[in-house]
Structure 1
Amino acid sequence: MDRIPITPEGFEKLKKELERLKTVERKEVIEAIKEARAHGDLSENAEYDAAKERQGLIEAKIAELESKIGRFEVIDPSNFSGDKVVFGVYVEIENVETGEKKRYRIVGPDEADISKGYISVISPIAKALMGKSVGDTVLVRAPGGDKEYEILDISLS
């Protein structure tokens, strides 16, 4: 069984989502099914069909999260010195060609959210950055072409 890396914050967030699905969403959909059943003929009852479909989606998400939670490996980046790029740290980089600066946090695949600057540890850029230090230049081989970046800063927050 492959372990899935995740930050402590990401782990807590997914645990809360699982709890919400089990205690709130599941109960709401059961009530919606009961209400739809009360309307009579189920063969032509759109509310019943929609509620049953929603129930299936909720149960699938619950099963997925329960499976993943058992495989997560919580990695706390606060234990690291901060002198090298490792899982969970924030890294500021500059495109050598354009001068464009970006700041990313390297997180697990289930936490990646580019709008927040969270990139997956398995992404090409994160793979290129891992183990490098401030001042190092890395070549990122990505589908859009090769890009060179200089590491400007590494921090825990």
Structure 2
Amino acid sequence: MSSTDRYITPQGFARIRAEYEQLFGTERPKLVETISWAAGNGDRSENGDYIYGRKRLREIDRRLGYLAKVMKDAKVVDPAAQGSRDQVRFGATVELADADDNRRTVTIVGNDEADASSGHIGWSAPITRALIGARIGDERIVRLPAGEKSYEVLAINYPPQPGSTAP
């Protein structure tokens, strides 16, 4: 995995596709209809519906372009299909403890689906780069702008493999 690859989980890809379809199939057509109606009302220079509508349409078109590029460049990787489940890889949910025994759980996902507040960390983040390849019991040092921080890997979990009876 190189830093330029755009890896994403199947769930992340589905969310991006759903957002694209909602914007393109629902929100944009309604907005175009509103703009068209507002344009027919005469003077456009003081027409709030027209001015706001055009601005919002540009925002939607930019977002659609971005989402289309993400979907085109995406390499969907199913974490459930990871072969080496004893090491930290893309899609792993990892339980960590720092030197003060503060515990945290992170899931390694694609950069386009990262959300640190929910524990989903992009795979090119410093903590992820430090954890890749680690096994349970390994200690890894993460270099952050605020300094170095040491973490011990307590547990590594992946989604169950298709057809497995594991909990």
TM-score (norm 2): 0.89
Residue equivalent to 1:93 = 96
Residue equivalent to 1:130 = 132
Moved more, 26-35 or 99-108: 26-35
Question: Which one of 128, 138, 146 corresponds to residue 148 of structure 2?
Answer: 146
Aligned residues, how many? 155
Residue equivalent to 1:59 = 61
Deviation at 1:31, TM superposition (A): 1.7
**Whole-angstrom distance in 1 between the partners of 2:22 and 2:147:** 41
Structure 2: which 5+ runs fail to align?
160-167
Deviation at 1:39, TM superposition (A): 2.4
Report matched runs for 1:3-152 at 5 Å. Answer: 3-80=5-82, 81-96=84-99, 98-152=100-154
**Whole-angstrom distance in 1 between the partners of 2:5 and 2:93:** 22
Moved more, 28-37 or 18-27: 28-37
Deviation at 1:36, TM superposition (A): 1.4
Structure 1 stretches of 4+ with a deviation exceeding 3 A read: none
* Counterpart code for 1:32: T
* Counterpart code for 1:88: G
Deviation at 1:117, TM superposition (A): 0.5
Deviations 1:21-53 (A, max 9, x none): 110111121122022123221122122110000
**Whole-angstrom distance in 2 between the partners of 1:123 and 1:67:** 21
* Counterpart code for 2:97: E
Percentage of matched positions with identical amino acids: 37
* Counterpart code for 2:154: L
**Whole-angstrom distance in 2 between the partners of 1:49 and 1:117:** 39
* Counterpart code for 2:16: L
TM-score (norm 1): 0.95
Q: Secondary structure at the match of 1:88?
A: coil
* Counterpart code for 1:84: Q
**Whole-angstrom distance in 2 between the partners of 1:78 and 1:60:** 33
Deviation at 1:114, TM superposition (A): 1.1
* Counterpart code for 1:114: A
RMSD of equivalent CA atoms: 1.0
* Counterpart code for 2:56: R
